[in-house]
Chains A and B, each alone.
Chain A
Amino acid sequence: ETGVTQTPRHLVMGMTNKKSLKCEQHLGHNAMYWYKQSAKKPLELMFVYNFKEQTENNSVPSRFSPECPNSSHLFLHLHTLQPEDSALYLCASSQGEGGYGYTFGSGTRLTVV
């Protein structure tokens, strides 16, 4: 257990569904991140939050909607996804934004059918 917990571990959803991914960290970190990891592609940084404020959005389609109610919780709301959105979605946290390294959760394996 890394201290960063992601739920659910696996998710299968249809293209018209709405679902949410949850990330929770118990490390006292102030920055949280969403990454997308697709097969044969580099890690893609999606969103960054620092002290609950979004500090980076890497041109992510609006069908992905992040929410950070406090420094310990991060959500990724999903709606009308496409099959190419199937991937492993990783959450990470850090103390400060990166110089101390990131702690990752185990990820949510998302399959869009």
Chain B
Amino acid sequence: AQSVAQPEDQVNVAEGNPLTVKCTYSVSGNPYLFWYVQYPNRGLQFLLKYITGDNLVKGSYGFEAEFNKSQTSFHLKKPSALVSDSALYFCADVYGNNRLAFGKGNQVVVIP
């Protein structure tokens, strides 16, 4: 079965610094990978996805993610973090009969 792992519970970063949220996957074949963001008391919002094609995927709010097959990773990045980026971030992949499996989530705290 496919799955994703988000190794860190919380990521703290100073405003203006680069932000990275890590995700690794375990899969045979070609994965379909997603990133979602959740602001307090809201549902999950789609940020970006990798299906095929360019390894660097650009998404909403200035976020991007790089698919790295040799390292089985799909880390989310933003060059310059904003305080408003403070939220919960979920990595997900598709498994079985096209279900989405979510990681445990990473709390991102951007410090002013």
**What residues of chain A have their CB less than 8 Å away from a CB belonging to chain B?**
2, 4, 6, 42-43, 45, 48, 55-56, 88, 90-92, 94, 96-99, 101-107, 109
The total of interchain contacts (Cβ-Cβ below 8 angstroms) comes to 53
Report yes or no: B41 in contact with A107, Cβ–Cβ below 8 A. yes
Contact B42 A106 (CB under 8 A): yes
- Which A residues lie within 8 Å of B28 (CB)? none
Residue of B nearest to A4 (CB): B43
Residue B34 at the chain A interface, CB threshold 8 Å? yes
**CA–CA, A94 and B94, complex, Å:** 13
Expressed in whole angstroms, the Cα–Cα distance for A6 and B97 within the complex equals 26
Query: How far apart are the CA atoms of A4 and B43 in the complex, in Å?
Result: 10
Residues of B within 8 A of A6 (CB): 43
Q: With A98-B94, A99-B32 in contact, is A104–B45 under 8 Å at CB?
A: yes
Does B44 interact with chain A (Cβ within 8 Å)? Answer: yes
Tell me, in angstroms, the Cα distance from A96 to B94 when the chains sit together: 12
